[in-house]
Amino acid sequence: MIQPASPDQISVNIDGREIAVPRGTNMIEAARRVGVDVPHYCYHSKLSVVGNCRMCLVEMGMPAVDPATKAPVIDPSTGKQRINWSPRPTIACATNASPGLHIRTTSPMVKDCREGVMEFLLINHPLDCPICDQAGECKLQEQSTGYGRGYSRFIEQKNVKPKRTLLGPRVMLDDERCILCSRCIRFCKEVAKDDVLGFTDRGSFSTLACYPGRKLENNYSLNTVDICPVGALTSTDFRFKMRVWFLRQTNSIDTESSVGANTVVWSREGTVYRITPRQNDGVNDTWMADSGRALYKPVRDPGRLESIRVNGSGATLDAAAKACADLIAAGGVAVVGSGRSSVEEQFLTKKLAEAARARAWLVSRVGEGDGLLISADRNPNVRGALVTGLISELPSAALGPLAALIDSGAVKCIVSVGEELAAAGLSAEQLAKVAVVYLGTHSNATSAAAKIVIPTLTVFEKHGTFVNQQFRIQRFAKAVPGLPGASDDLLVLSKLVAASGGPNLGADVGALWPSIASEVPPLATMTYGNIPDAGLLISGAPWESLEFAEGSGLHFKPATPAAKGASRV
Amino acid sequence: MPAPQQHRLVFRHIDEPGYTNDLACYLRNGGYEVLRKSVLRKPEELVDEVKKSGLRGRGGAGFPCGVKWSLLDRKSGKPIYLVVNADESEPGTFKDRYIIHNDPHQLIEGIMITCFANKVERTYIYIRGEFPEGARILERAIAEARAANFVGPNILGTSYGCEIYVHRGAGAYICGEETGLIESLEGKRPYPRIKPPYFPAVLGLYQCPTIVNNVETLCHVKHIADRGGDAYSKIGTPNNTGTRILCVSGHVQRPGYYEFEVGKITMGQLLNEVCGGPLPGRRFKAVIPGGSSAKVLKFGERYKGKRKVGAEMVDFDWGLEDVPMDFDSLGMIGSMGGSGGVIVMDDSVSMVEALGNINAFYSHESCGQCTPCREGSLWMKKITGRMVHGAARPEDGALLKSVADQIAGRTICAFGEACAWPTQSFVAKFGDEFKEYHQAKKNPRADGAPELV
């Protein structure tokens, strides 16, 4: 038995390999650390342990000691301390590390246990693979292939249960497929704090259902679909749309709020089919809100801007940049940046504001935080604007002071990088009074009133980074190509900057980051490529006096007690 | 050797003419005197008496009662609960119902002594839902006892007090499993808890240290407190002390309840002398000695081995009739003493059909929490159901055994063993019947054999 490196680590032995793990680590996690896969269904690292699927059964042994003297009993044939292997297997998920614990996962007993449990799970399971959404990411398929017997001995009638029950607006339940692992029940109770699911009936006829009169409609209901190991719970939005093995997975970030939940965007041939959470134990665990998953829908809706327009006629990007530079040269410019822009775009927006000798504004979006994964700040990247120096104060919701400047004639031209100015508080008269240059994705009042309209890309169509409420910089990547008439935001902004007399800066993330690293001190050590997938915390110290709107949430405690829960600015 | 006489300790008054279940009658017969003596002693002494007595649980597992009490976590500062398991649901067992209906005060006295010994201040009697009259009787008895200061605050002039509450179940065998019972008592579905970490002695009712004891066991506590642990341990046989109530049912002339010293009566004496032997024209075929979860024993078998008598290991060579009815002997020959429900089957019984009946019960009662028992018990029921209704195959016996082998030892609670052992033992001992059942189906039933329902 090796001595663990630090005193609060415990040494265990898995299939002959020693490993030291922290106190309280269960054997599934310990085995994972040595590359051993212990199959399981009901265990989930973020939920309570129930031990009811019995798939993770392993052999357990403890070192033999003489009961009277407590001296180790040595096995004469090996010269090492004898291990008393328990005749009954134990579940790895509920077996926590204790000194000298030995686990075997490859013995004949364990093989028989796994084949037995697999067989039992399959006997009443419907032969739905051809029509089941879960195919390709189904734990039952994977583990029966890996650990099952490979043939059936069941010739009786299978149980019949309710087949397509709408549990709520976004979740469909097929009770026959359910293997009664209870992950969904535990999630709703422990994480979403909405205890709405439970089992009814008994034994093999046990059935998942909502409690009478209730619906599974909380804003985290789709996480039950993610964690369901089989196709019992499926997403009504994704139902029957696409086979998962055709989909490409791209890492992205949820832009719904400053939480910055890590996501995976699943797409095929330029179309996004669904968004699921990506595990980040520092930000969102394995969860995300349902409302964030719907954000891919506007990507291809008919309101997308598709052509560059200068004074109503089509133009090239260079011509538009020149026209914009002319407007800027006339003076009285305001630049409205966005808390939804990436760090790179905000960096270039700042350069544009400097070149135009303009003041930069940001529009704030504050709502009510839900205490979990939607924070009160509905902009994903206000902190990026602070870090790049685009702004130095927190933005206010309405552009009141800007409106006053328009009325007084001090501001004659507004360059809006993705912000709808009417919604931000400017009236139609004020919009008509100034020359607007609009960079955006969808048509709206501002694009209609703008002299120059340059279509740009949604978050799914470009690369970039955001800084979330924890001051963690996180990357998102391009999942699908943009529309043919739309241009990459960084290309557009770098051209505008150059045309307005500013420096020539890189037009994509790779080329631009050296400039960012050299000019933004907190980001000095980074390149776009070396930011880890789980993001990187940077210091928020320079801004700790600001009264951020966010209250507590998952993995987040606000620095100042003043900012708690809802505050409508 | 002729059968010994019954030793009616717990069942002393059960069939006594004129004995009623009210407090006055109990007091006339010396009731609550033992409680009076016991509250004047130190609680630790009473625990010691129970340890010395060697009393083993009468609910089915036969776990030493004194050891169970000493595992209680007394250092946590949390209240300690006693839960009385009156959920008598093991098929073949019908002893607790007579204690509850006919002599409830004996139970209450045993409960109060146990509570005093373990510093319990609140007790719950979990009674199966199918005993509505029993629940009423218990509540009336508790009210009488409280009025007479035997239950409630400051009993018998002391500063000790304990409340007893009756809680009715709703018809589930799994509520007899101690952690399933605790879950049900807490108002949840009776899903047994995983042990470790949820041992009732540490994390039981409301996550507090809890003892769960059977009704008959608690009645024995009264008698141990009365005469002392050493004297009690002289009744019965070493390691199998005291008396136990055997509930004989099935194909005997005189089925019923009989209380004997543990280990002092053999299976043959019990069935042939006490119960009058098989029905006219019949021969014994099989017997399940400890409730339907126990493994079946076949008449005509012989059991050989070594057992401890005094300080020595002695050979034994028994026919089924020679087996003493105690926990250890029944355990040694491959079955268990269990709850004392002796189910006798004669040669009119088809073992396949009997197993079908048993499998139907277990599949109905499985709580459904863990995979092997939930799916396996129903699969076994479907197999025997198919066999019994006409589509048996010769390999079904082997399939049943294989399924049962995949359940036992792999479940959260002992229900896995309970539903697997009947199948394993029936197929092991009567395998030929299973192999030939598809032929036998075509043969007419034995004369006078009852109709299959």
User: Taking a C-beta distance cutoff of 8 angstroms, is the pair A162, A208 a contact?
Assistant: no
In a shared domain, residues A91 and A135: no
Quote the strand ranges of B341-442, DSSP E: 341-346
CB pairs under 8 A between A and B: 97
pLDDT at B172 over 60: yes
Contact across the interface for B374 and A119, Cβ inside 8 Å: no
**pLDDT confidence tier of residue A434, bands split at 50, 70 and 90:** very high
Contact across the interface for B372 and A123, Cβ inside 8 Å: no
pLDDT, mean over chain B: 95
pLDDT at A3 over 70: no
Residue A381 lies in a domain: yes
Query: A residues 102-161 near B, CB within 8 Å?
Result: 112-113, 116-117, 119-121, 123-124, 153-154, 156-157, 159
Residue A326 lies in a domain: yes
- Cβ atoms < 10 Å from Cβ of B276: 12
pLDDT tens-digit readout, B97-143: 999 999 999 999 999 999 999 999 999 999 999 999 999 999 999 99
Residue A260 lies in a domain: no
Q: How far apart are the first and last CA of chain A?
A: 61
Please give the backbone phi and psi of residue A451, each rounded to the nearest 5 degrees, phi first: -75, -40
Q: Which helix (H) or strand (E) holds B49?
A: helix B43-53
Percent of chain A with pLDDT over 90: 90
**pLDDT confidence tier of residue A567, bands split at 50, 70 and 90:** very low
Angle between helices B371-386 and A108-123 (to 10 degrees): 60
Q: Supply the pLDDT for residue B326.
A: 95
Length of chain A: 569
Contact across the interface for B410 and A124, Cβ inside 8 Å: no
Gyration radius (Cα) of chain A, Å: 29
pLDDT, mean over chain A: 94
CA A109 to chain centre: 40
Minimal Cα–Cα distance from B193 to chain A, Å? 8
Average pLDDT of span A514-524: 95
| A228 part of contact set with chain B, CB < 8 Å | no
DSSP label at residue B64: B
Shortest CB distance from B411 goes to which of A49, A54, A157?
A54
Average pLDDT of span A249-269: 97
Bridge partners, residue B266, by sequence: B324
Average pLDDT of span A373-382: 96
pLDDT tens-digit readout, A152-180: 999 999 999 999 999 999 999 999 999 99
Can you tell me the distance from the alpha carbon of A235 to that of B74, in angstroms, rounded to the nearest whole number? 50
Contact across the interface for B194 and A116, Cβ inside 8 Å: no
Q: Supply the pLDDT for residue A5.
A: 64
The SS3 of residue A263 is: strand
Q: Supply the pLDDT for residue A563.
A: 46
pLDDT at A569 over 70: no
Can you tell me the distance from the alpha carbon of B417 to that of B362, in angstroms, rounded to the nearest whole number? 11
Minimal Cα–Cα distance from A18 to chain B, Å? 24
Residues of chain B with CATH 3.10.20.600: 244-346
Residue A247 lies in a domain: no
Residue B13's nearest CA partner among B22, B5, B4 is B22
User: Taking a C-beta distance cutoff of 8 angstroms, is the pair A469, A488 a contact?
Assistant: no
User: Taking a C-beta distance cutoff of 8 angstroms, is the pair A83, A63 a contact?
Assistant: yes
Can you tell me the distance from the alpha carbon of B396 to that of A536, in angstroms, rounded to the nearest whole number? 61
Residue A296 lies in a domain: no
Can you tell me the distance from the alpha carbon of A435 to that of A263, in angstroms, rounded to the nearest whole number? 38
Tokens representing A403? 């409106």
Minimal Cα–Cα distance from B206 to chain A, Å? 17
Minimal Cα–Cα distance from B337 to chain A, Å? 22
Query: Concatenated DSSP letters for A188-225?
Result: HHHTS----EEEES-GGG-EEEEPTT----STTTHHHH
Q: Supply the pLDDT for residue A78.
A: 85
Q: Supply the pLDDT for residue A568.
A: 40
**pLDDT confidence tier of residue A564, bands split at 50, 70 and 90:** very low
Tokens representing A220? 């985290």
| Conformational region of residue B281, where left means phi above 0, alpha means psi within -120 to 50, and beta covers everything else | left
Q: Which helix (H) or strand (E) holds A146?
A: helix A139-147
Minimal Cα–Cα distance from B373 to chain A, Å? 8
**pLDDT confidence tier of residue B453, bands split at 50, 70 and 90:** low
User: Taking a C-beta distance cutoff of 8 angstroms, is the pair A319, A307 a contact?
Assistant: no
Residue B316's nearest CA partner among B308, B306, B325 is B306
The CATH architecture that domain B351-440 belongs to is: Up-down Bundle (1.20)
Shortest CB distance from B382 goes to which of A57, A119, A156?
A156
Query: Concatenated DSSP letters for B135-159?
Result: HHHHHHHHHHHHHTTSSBSSGGGSS
According to DSSP, the β-strands at B122-127 and B81-86 are parallel
Minimal Cα–Cα distance from B5 to chain A, Å? 42
Tokens representing B198? 């949820």
Shortest CB distance from A116 goes to which of B189, B368, B406?
B406
* A55 contact residues in B (CB cutoff 8 A): 371
Can you tell me the distance from the alpha carbon of B210 to that of B193, in angstroms, rounded to the nearest whole number? 14
- CATH classification at residue A100: 3.10.20.740
- CATH classification at residue A203: 3.30.70.20
- Fold (topology level) of B23-234: Rossmann fold (3.40.50)
Percent of chain B with pLDDT over 90: 94
Task: Choose, out of B174, B375, B384, the residue to mutate when testing the contact with A (most A CBs < 10 Å).
Answer: B375
Minimal Cα–Cα distance from A179 to chain B, Å? 8
Query: A residues 58-97 near B, CB within 8 Å?
Result: 87-89, 91, 94
Q: Residue A40, exposed/middle/buried by CB under 10 A (0-12, 13-18, 19+)? A: buried
Domains in chain A: how many in total?
3
User: Taking a C-beta distance cutoff of 8 angstroms, is the pair B162, B155 a contact?
Assistant: yes
* B411 contact residues in A (CB cutoff 8 A): 54
Minimal Cα–Cα distance from B194 to chain A, Å? 7
* B180 contact residues in A (CB cutoff 8 A): none
DSSP label at residue A524: T
* B406 contact residues in A (CB cutoff 8 A): 112-113, 116-117, 119-120
Q: What is the CATH number of domain B244-346?
A: 3.10.20.600
Closest chain B residue by Cα to residue A40:
B371
Shortest CB distance from A180 goes to which of B368, B376, B407?
B368
In a shared domain, residues A471 and A369: yes
Can you tell me the distance from the alpha carbon of B354 to that of B426, in angstroms, rounded to the nearest whole number? 9
pLDDT tens-digit readout, B359-392: 999 999 999 999 999 999 999 999 999 999 888 9
* B194 contact residues in A (CB cutoff 8 A): 49-51, 91, 94
Residue A493 lies in a domain: yes
| Conformational region of residue A259, where left means phi above 0, alpha means psi within -120 to 50, and beta covers everything else | alpha
Residues 6+ apart with CB under 8 A from A98: A10, A12, A62
Shortest CB distance from A54 goes to which of B367, B372, B402?
B372
Residues 6+ apart with CB under 8 A from A234: A132, A133, A134, A171, A172, A174, A225, A228
In a shared domain, residues A444 and A324: yes
Token pair 């739905």: residue: A128
Residues 6+ apart with CB under 8 A from B207: B78
Q: Supply the pLDDT for residue A397.
A: 74
* A156 contact residues in B (CB cutoff 8 A): 379, 382-383, 386
pLDDT tens-digit readout, B243-261: 999 999 999 999 999 999 9
CA distances from B211 to A45, B84, B161, B239 (A): 32, 8, 18, 22
In a shared domain, residues A325 and A183: no
Q: Supply the pLDDT for residue A6.
A: 75
Shortest CB distance from A52 goes to which of B196, B369, B377?
B369
Closest chain B residue by Cα to residue A122:
B375
**Model confidence, pTM:** 0.94
Average pLDDT of span A204-216: 96
CA A228 to chain centre: 18
In a shared domain, residues A158 and A31: no
Residues of chain B with CATH 3.40.50.11540: 23-234
- Using CA of residue A291, residue A293, residue A294, residue A299, what is the dihedral sign? positive
In a shared domain, residues A233 and A360: no
Shortest CB distance from B379 goes to which of A52, A53, A156?
A156
Residue A214 lies in a domain: yes
In a shared domain, residues A477 and A377: yes
Minimal Cα–Cα distance from B58 to chain A, Å? 25
- Chain B contact residues (CB < 8 Å to A): 172, 189, 191, 194, 196-197, 363-372, 374-379, 382-383, 386, 399, 402, 406-407, 409-412
pLDDT tens-digit readout, B188-209: 999 999 998 999 999 999 999 9
In a shared domain, residues A433 and A537: yes
* B402 contact residues in A (CB cutoff 8 A): 153
In a shared domain, residues A102 and A132: no
Contact across the interface for B412 and A51, Cβ inside 8 Å: yes
The residue segments making up the domain with residue A414 are 309-543
Shortest CB distance from A202 goes to which of B367, B371, B411?
B367
Query: A residues 494-523 near B, CB within 8 Å?
Result: none
Tokens representing B149? 């200061």
Tokens representing B403? 């399924």
Contact across the interface for B372 and A154, Cβ inside 8 Å: no
Q: Supply the pLDDT for residue A566.
A: 47
pLDDT at B452 over 80: no
In a shared domain, residues A341 and A466: yes
Contact across the interface for A153 and B399, Cβ inside 8 Å: yes
pLDDT at B23 over 90: yes
Minimal Cα–Cα distance from A197 to chain B, Å? 13
Can you tell me the distance from the alpha carbon of B371 to that of B410, in angstroms, rounded to the nearest whole number? 9
Q: Supply the pLDDT for residue B234.
A: 96
**pLDDT confidence tier of residue A560, bands split at 50, 70 and 90:** low
A189 CB-side CA count, 13 A: 11
Closest chain B residue by Cα to residue A112:
B406
Minimal Cα–Cα distance from B199 to chain A, Å? 14
Residue A456's nearest CA partner among A467, A465, A447, A466 is A447
Contact across the interface for B172 and A112, Cβ inside 8 Å: no
Q: How far apart are the first and last CA of chain B?
A: 40
Residue A471 lies in a domain: yes
Can you tell me the distance from the alpha carbon of B178 to that of A66, in angstroms, rounded to the nearest whole number? 32
Residues 6+ apart with CB under 8 A from A429: none
pLDDT tens-digit readout, A264-310: 999 999 999 999 999 999 999 999 999 999 999 999 999 999 999 99
Contact across the interface for A117 and B410, Cβ inside 8 Å: yes
Can you tell me the distance from the alpha carbon of A256 to that of A264, in angstroms, rounded to the nearest whole number? 15
- Using CA of residue B8, residue B13, residue B15, residue B17, what is the dihedral sign? positive
In a shared domain, residues A497 and A390: yes
Contact across the interface for B377 and A203, Cβ inside 8 Å: yes
Bridge partners, residue A309, by sequence: A314, A453
User: Taking a C-beta distance cutoff of 8 angstroms, is the pair A479, A270 a contact?
Assistant: no
In a shared domain, residues A187 and A40: no
Query: A residues 195-214 near B, CB within 8 Å?
Result: 198-199, 201-206
Angle between helices B215-227 and B43-53 (to 10 degrees): 110
- CATH classification at residue A526: 3.40.50.740
For residues A58, A63, A67 and A73, what is the CA-based torsion angle, rounded to 10 degrees?
A: 140
Task: Choose, out of B191, B193, B362, B369, the residue to mutate when testing the contact with A (most A CBs < 10 Å).
Answer: B369
Contact across the interface for B363 and A199, Cβ inside 8 Å: no
pLDDT tens-digit readout, A47-57: 999 999 999 99
The SS3 of residue A311 is: coil
